[in-house]
Amino acid sequence: MTRLTTTLASAALLLSAGTAFAQDVLRVSAIPDEAPTELARKFAPLGAYLEKETGIKVQFVPVTDYAGVVTALTSDKLDMAWLGGFTYVQAAQRGKVIPLVQREEDTKFTSKFIASTASGANSLKDLKGKSFAFGSASSTSGHLMPRFFLQKEGIKPETFFKNVAYSGAHDATVAWVASGKVDGGALNSSVWDKLVEGHKVDLTKVKVIGTTPPFYDYNWTVRGNLDPALVKKITAAFLKLDPKNPEQKNILELQRATRFVPTKPDNYRGIESAAREAGLLK
Amino acid sequence: MLNPARDPAFGQRLVGTLLLLALLAPTFVLTGFNPFVLFHQDTWQVWLGFVAGFLPPAHGTDFLGEVLRETVTTLASATLGLALAVAIGLPAALATSRALDAARLTAEPPSRLAETAKSLLRGLLVALRGVPEIVWALLFVRAVGLGSLPAVLAIGIAYGGMLGKVYAEILESQPAEPARALAASGAGRLARFAWAALPQALPELVSYSVYRWECAIRASAVMGFVGAGGVGQLIDTSLKMLNGGEVSTLLLVFLLLVMLTEAISQLCRHALDSRAGTTGIAVATLAAVLGSWWWLRQGWPNDAFDFASLGHFAVEFFPPAHDAALLTSAAHGILETLAMSLLGSALAFVGGALLAVPAAGRFGATLKALSRLLLNLLRGVPDLMWAALAVLAVGLGPAAGVLALTLHTSGVLGRLFAETLENAAPEPERALLAAGAGHFAAFAYGQLPQVLAQWVAYTLYRWENNIRIATVLGIVGAGGIGTQLYLALSLFQQTTAATLIIAMLLLSWAVEALSRALRRRMES
């Protein structure tokens, strides 16, 4: 009997060693709010920088599903992830996670409401009875907050619009509106600005018809049981990114950040109550 | 053109058609399917713009490299998934097949305990195959993370349930004498299986497994829609980004893959005839399974088989939610699903019939070849992929589901209809023509009555199949109860998801039981 117990105990130890093993690689992912190729392109220099600063190999795990990132982080299959406000709240509800830093821009984030010029809409009210697209159902700036602010204006999407669709990602929403597949949509202002600056959107076909009030959004979050010393190193690496350094400027630009600032769970109380009010969180 | 004077039953036909349309009217309302939208100028502009974007197919080196990698992943996931399914199905068949029961072979009374265990196992198999593989994949994506592992597990489990049942039936269909002789001399269940049942049934078992492998490849190719890797993932991304060039390359690759697997499975069936061929298949299978394992294993996390977290994940689904609001919306989802499948099948009957006539060679060789090509295209692209495309044409919602089911099923039915036309006796039609009847009347009175019953039977069978498919089309946004399931899982409302999965299971069982009962009545 004792022998069996010993065998079982050592087997359990061996198994747990697999997960609690001294960190030799940092597994990082991001919610797929843009096309997977775009996410990988954005991350590459940041990954190299973190590798240099922490002395640990950084591996980017591409994930195509919002909820998948949340599950992977809370079940220790990822060490760090770039989450949206709502996905962070979901992760915090499902396990122990620590939000580290966010872009300065994320402290006053907004979403844009857009419409196709062909629809003739100039305001949200004009979209009554037309079709409308959110991004992913799990997106903060592509779904939750636009929905929340629509409800504040007395607009219940499911009855106000002819039909409500989920495009899956911010850039997809723009593509849908531009093609006339839907009449209106909502997406995060940062992606909208990037598409406009890069001339990726035909402004004769799509126009902005509204902007939401500001809210807290995206952050970089680690799993709760990650080595504290490593957590400190990662945080410091983000915080000292300096736009004056040309190499680091490139990293910040790809992340569309002026600089990174520390963040804390309390910043996301507003998102949490918005999610409850919108019926997306129980 | 149709000439009423030449068709004595014209009035009856007209009334019949109108009556049928009136019966289908509620489904048009429920699904919001407006066939006229398809002919709107706006729809055409969106559609033409997208199709124009299909050309030229994307052929950048990076992109093609990625396509190749994902194609191999698709193949490997299907192969390894099927290996898992065989590993589940064969022992299950060994345990449950009535062909091996001592009670049937000898006079020995059955043991109650063993019978209960067998019933439980059969029930488990029913549940495994009752949940569609794409739903399994969605669940595993959430439970074990992304990549190809969920696809392998989903195919393994859903097909395992199917193989368990079919293998058992194949064993039962063999002559019982060898097993009886062994049983009489005291041989155990395993010995009866290995020395009597298996050698007899082997060719049929292999041939069915090969057929399932073909199905697994089609299934594996669409699993990327829920994040489980493979070609489907690339198609999903390209579709979302409205990148037509990439979509056309991927569709071409996919059709090639389907043709390749059909060729391989043909080869396998021929090879079974000779001893050397059989050995060859065994070696090739082993190599394919090991190769698939090696290829996929690199992409899996080290702790992929973390059963504790799987357990936690499963527990979250209990107890299933049952508040009135959810039950109402689930009931509505079921109704929408049924309406989609009914309308899609009915329209496919029309589409299939219209394509079958030229495909049977009635309008010359060119039209025959063209319509056959079209039928193969319609049939070769899986319904879930049609649904993702249809969403672009008619927007999200059940109307897209109806269009997808119509397109895919027209391809399936058209081919079957064409075969029945070719096999029908030509004499009655010739006689009518000789007697001075018009071409339409001769066809309607000489050919149609011979094949119509068969056509209706095929359509009813496909309808049954389409109900099951309609439950999952919502995963790509094409309406029905799948839409609710996808949303519930995205928002971590697991108990709601559990209720919806149960609703799907009940629907699938109800349809199966109903069709079994109907068939029995028709046979007796």
The pLDDT tens digits of the residues spanning A118-168 come to 999 999 999 999 989 999 888 999 999 999 999 999 999 989 998 888 888
Contact B145 A136 (CB under 8 A): no
- Other Cβ atoms less than 10 A from the Cβ of B254: the count is 24
Percent share of chain A, pLDDT over 90: 67
pLDDT at A106: 93
Q: Which amino acid is at B103?
A: A
Q: Count chain A–chain B contacts defined by CB atoms under 8 A.
A: 94
Residue in chain A nearest B234 by alpha carbon: A36
Interface of B with A in 279-318 (CB under 8 A): 301-303, 306, 309, 312-313
pLDDT category of residue A11 using cuts at 50, 70 and 90: very low
Handedness of CA A125, A129, A130, A136 (dihedral sign): positive
Residue B379 three-state SS: helix
Q: Mean pLDDT, to the nearest integer, of A15-44? A: 75
User: What pLDDT digit, counting tens, does each position of A194-241 carry?
Assistant: 999 999 899 999 999 999 999 999 999 999 999 999 999 999 999 999
Is 60 exceeded by the pLDDT of residue A16? no
Place of tokens 């599903």: A65
Which has more pLDDT, A3 or B428?
Answer: B428
- Other Cβ atoms less than 10 A from the Cβ of B114: the count is 14
Contact A18 B477 (CB under 8 A): no
Q: How far is CA B242 from CA A215, B85, B235, in A?
A: 30, 36, 10
Of A268, A273, A263, the residue nearest A92 (C-alpha): A268
pLDDT at A18: 41
Q: How far is CA B386 from CA A237, B350, B432, in A?
A: 47, 18, 41
Burial group, residue B9, by CB count within 10 angstroms (0-12, 13-18, 19+) = exposed
pLDDT at B146: 66
Task: Take residue B386 and report the two structure tokens written for it.
Answer: 């049609």
Contact B237 A90 (CB under 8 A): no
What span, in angstroms and rounded, lies between the C-alpha atoms of A6 and A130?
67
Regions of chain B with pLDDT less than 70 = 1-7, 37-38, 40-43, 45-47, 50, 146, 301-306, 523-524
Q: How many residues are listed for chain B in this entry?
A: 524
CA B87 to chain CA mean position, Å: 22
Residues of B in contact with A77 (CB under 8 A): 145, 301, 303
Among candidates B227, B241, B312 on the partner chain, residue whose Cβ is nearest the Cβ of A175: B241
Angstroms from A35 CA to nearest CA on chain B: 7
Residues of A in contact with B143 (CB under 8 A): 71
What span, in angstroms and rounded, lies between the C-alpha atoms of B78 and B232?
13
pLDDT category of residue A281 using cuts at 50, 70 and 90: confident
Residue B266 three-state SS: helix
Among candidates B142, B477, B487 on the partner chain, residue whose Cβ is nearest the Cβ of A68: B142
pLDDT at B272: 80
Report if pTM > 0.90. Answer: no
pLDDT at B88: 96
Among candidates B303, B392, B489 on the partner chain, residue whose Cβ is nearest the Cβ of A19: B303
Residues of A in contact with B233 (CB under 8 A): 64
CA B214 to chain CA mean position, Å: 11
pLDDT at A19: 43
ipTM, 2 decimals? 0.73
The helix-helix angle for B244-271 and B61-96 (nearest 10°) equals: 40
What single-letter DSSP state applies at residue B194? I
User: Taking a C-beta distance cutoff of 8 angstroms, is the pair B1, B313 a contact?
Assistant: no
Least confidently predicted of A14-18, A93-97, B62-66, B282-286: A14-18
**Mean pLDDT, chain A, integer:** 88
pLDDT at B46: 65
- B45 interface with A at CB cutoff 8 Å: yes
